[in-house]
Each structure stands twice: as structure tokens, then as C-alpha cells.
Structure 1
Amino acid sequence: MDSTAEDLASYLVQQLKLKAVGERLLVAIAGVPASGKSTLAELVVAKINALLAADSATHPTSAILVGLDGWHLTRAQLDAMPDPRLAHDRRGAHWTFDGPSYVEFAKLLRQPATAVITAPSFDHAMKDPTPHAVSIYPSHRLVVIEGAQLMDERWWVQVGLEEARRRLVKRHVLTGVAKDMEEAIWRAGQNDEPNGKFIAENLYQPTRIIESLDDPKYTL
């Protein structure tokens, strides 16, 4: 996965040089749950920043990763839905996110990079979003985030259904999301796989398709 991330990082650094001063390069990395998109995004951003730091002509330009989890609806908002139990069980489905707020954030990124923009993050201990937790500075001229039509680059991480299911079940058990293997299998089949199907069926046309790699060096 390192070599893939290095190639992608080099490509993005070159694309950034084609942007006018003050414009950001926006990159969306999407994929079904357990495709490895988050791991890939972290690696690409780290390698981009290493390249930019070594290039005196672009310093202090840098890249930043903004996760989509910050736009989860709060537990209180889920509780207020017609079927709260279903809402909590399906947390992560498209209808459990604050889509309009995310789109407004993406529009802000499209404006000239002259002011600080904040984004929410997600507190896994509290199991709720934390507003204004991430700061995107004017020097952050390359932003990697999850899908939106407003992005310059839209990458899709491709993985087979059986492989994604295997990774999901393993992840749910290891992270404690599921109390046992039976619950992990249920969550993978009843929540993650329907979410992945919706994402795949409603995907904006990708500019690049990347084959997922099950690299043992990295956690799922």
C-alpha cells in the first residue's frame, strides 16, 4: 500500500502546482465500508506533506484530511426520529448524516483560501460529533475528504463483497463495536453492506478507481 500511496501523493502534488495561488485542490476518496479508504487517505496525506515539506518552493503549503464522521447526526437527533432503534442500528447510513451541512462545508473549501474554516470531528468516547474540532488554514491547499461532486478528484477504492464482509466482521470484533462474532456478522450484513450498496449505486463518476489492498502492515 505504501507504493500506491506514494504514487498517488506524487500525482496530487503535481496537480496542486497547476492550481492558481489561493485555490485548493479537493480530493474525495470513497468506497464501501472496509474498502481501506480511510487507511489510504491517511497514508496519502502523510506522504503529500512529506513531499511538500521537502519542496522549499511550496512550503508552508500542506495537506489535511477531514473525515466524514463529524457530520453524523447526534444520538439526540437519532432519538427524535420516528424509529429511534432503527436509526441507531443503521447509524452510518446516508440518512443518518447531516448532508446539507456537509455540502455547505464543501462550498466553503471552494472559496479562495484566505480564512480559517472549521469542521466537526467525532468523539468515539462520547459517540457524538464535536463541532469546530478541525481547523483548515489558508496554508492547507490540499484537502482530502469523502465524496462530493464539488471535488477536483473523486477516487473510488474497489473491493470485493466477500473480502469487505470478512474485514468488517474482524474489525467489529477487534474494536468492540460488536460484543461477539454473531453480532459482528449481523452488523456487517444488516448495516454496513446496505450502506455500501447505496454508496456504490449513487456514486459520482470517479476520476480514478483504486484496487483495495489487504496490507498486513496496517489495521483495517
Structure 2
Amino acid sequence: MRKTHLAHAVALGLNKKAGISLRDSRGDTDTDGSQDVAIAVPMDGFHLTRAQLAAMPDPENAFARRGAEFTFDGAAFTAIVESLREPINKDLPSLKLPAFDHAVKDPVADQIVVGPRQRIVVFEGNYVCLNKLPWSRAASPEYMDERWFVEVDFAVARKRLIRRHIAAGIVVNEEEAAKRADENDLLNGTEIVNNKVSPIDETIVSQEDASWK
């Protein structure tokens, strides 16, 4: 069970509880015009683009560390979180958010639509609970009703990362995948674990479970 699976399961459960079928995150409407009340939104769309990484003082390091906190647009993410606290009314426009396109290896604008009724937004991502500005502002009780943390053993995480990097075509073999996991992902994981906001409302221990899809 990973954080992405959990976020979508929570959104699905909330929509079922509300008697509304789950559709994809593009905000489609049912034939009767109703919309989901909950939506899961990944923070992957707030990756800095490759062009932005290339413009950094040390672009080689920026690309090698892609996925680290400094390779995300935390200010843009925080601005979106703040905007979702606007009072709900029937004339409120839909909010369009970026998503990460693995084919182009960059975020693409306006791919996820949060409709006027979708005001239960389940954000998921590595840094949504990071105790560092601007992330800590977005995670504050002023903007987030609850903060959940998915806890995973580092040895388990390493095995998953190696499989994922190979499957995604980021690397060509297990050796390169392990190197990336050790020199980037697990460094990020250490920062996340050691510097999370307090209090955390729910801690979920991630375990291998074949029943999760």
C-alpha cells in the first residue's frame, strides 16, 4: 500500500459514502450533472520543469536530485492549497491543476480539474507534511484539516524504488536503480521522516498487501 493508493482509496470511499460514483481526476460529470465531492490530487504536477532545472546554478546536480524538495515548486503548491479555502458558492470556477506527464518527463498544465463541489481534496506527495517553508504553511491547520503520514521501512522502500525505477524506464538495470535510490530517493526520505510537521493526525504503516490495486 502506497500513499497514492491510499489517497485514491480515501477519495473513492468518501464519494461512495456521498452516493456518488468515482470518476477520474479530470472532473468529468455524470449524466445527471453531479460531481464527486472528493478528489485525490498528487503533488507530482509541481515538479520543476527540465528547463527550470537546467537554469539552476548546478544543473547536473539538479537533474541527479530530481525528486528532492528543491526540485519542486513549493510556492505554487502552497498557493493552490490557499485558494481552496475560498468560500464555496455555485458560481465558483473550476480550479485547474498540473499533472506530471511521464512521457514528456515534465509537468503539464491544466490536467486535473477540481470542480466547485470537490472541496474534499486529498493531496498526496512526499513534501505535503514537510516542516519547511513554504510546505509547512500549506500543511498548517489553517489550510489542511488533517495531516496523514504513510510510514514505510527504508529497506522495503529501497526494494520498491528499484523495481519502480526500472519499470518506469528511468534506469536500464538494477545497479543503476539502486544507485539512484541510495543517492537520491532515500536521502529525500530521511529529510521527510526527520522533518515532518507536528502533530500528525494519522500514521499509516505501509505493508505489502496483494489485495491493494
Q: State whether TM-score is above 0.5.
A: yes
Name segments (4+ residues, structure 1) moved above 6 Å.
none
> Residue 68 of structure 2 is aligned with which of 81, 93, 96?
93
Q: CA deviation at 1:42?
A: 1.6
Q: Distance in 2 between matches of 1:78 and 1:60?
A: 37
2:95, 2:114 within 8 Å by CA — same for their partners in 1? yes
- How many residues get paired? 182
Q: Distance in 1 between matches of 2:36 and 2:114?
A: 12
Q: Distance in 1 between matches of 2:173 and 2:167?
A: 9
> Residue 207 of structure 1 is aligned with which of 194, 201, 206?
201
Q: Does 1:145 align with 2:138?
A: no
1:70, 1:129 within 8 Å by CA — same for their partners in 2? yes
| Residue range with higher mean Cα deviation, 77-86 or 40-49 | 40-49
Of Structure 1 and Structure 2, which has the larger fraction of its residues in helix? 1
Taking a change above 3 Å as real, the CA distance of residues 178 and 141 of structure 1, as seen in their structure-2 partners, is same
| Structure 2 stretches lacking a partner, 5+ long | 22-33, 129-138
Structure showing greater relative contact order (alpha-carbon pairs closer than 8 Å, 6 or more residues apart): 1
Aligned to 1:120: 98
Q: CA deviation at 1:187?
A: 0.8
Aligned to 2:154: 161
Q: Does 1:39 align with 2:5?
A: yes
Code of the residue aligned with 1:132 in structure 2: it is D
SS at match of 1:42: helix
Taking a change above 3 Å as real, the CA distance of residues 66 and 54 of structure 1, as seen in their structure-2 partners, is closer
Residue deviations 1:97-133 (CA, integer Å, cap 9, x gap): 1111111100001111232222111111111111122
| Structure 1 stretches lacking a partner, 5+ long | 2-35
Give the TM-score taking structure 2 as reference length. Answer: 0.80
> Residue 53 of structure 1 is aligned with which of 10, 15, 19?
19
2:45, 2:108 within 8 Å by CA — same for their partners in 1? yes
> Residue 210 of structure 2 is aligned with which of 208, 216, 219?
216
2:84, 2:119 within 8 Å by CA — same for their partners in 1? no
Taking a change above 3 Å as real, the CA distance of residues 51 and 74 of structure 1, as seen in their structure-2 partners, is same
Q: Percent identity?
A: 42
Taking a change above 3 Å as real, the CA distance of residues 85 and 159 of structure 1, as seen in their structure-2 partners, is same
Q: Distance in 2 between matches of 1:152 and 1:50?
A: 20
Aligned to 1:10: none
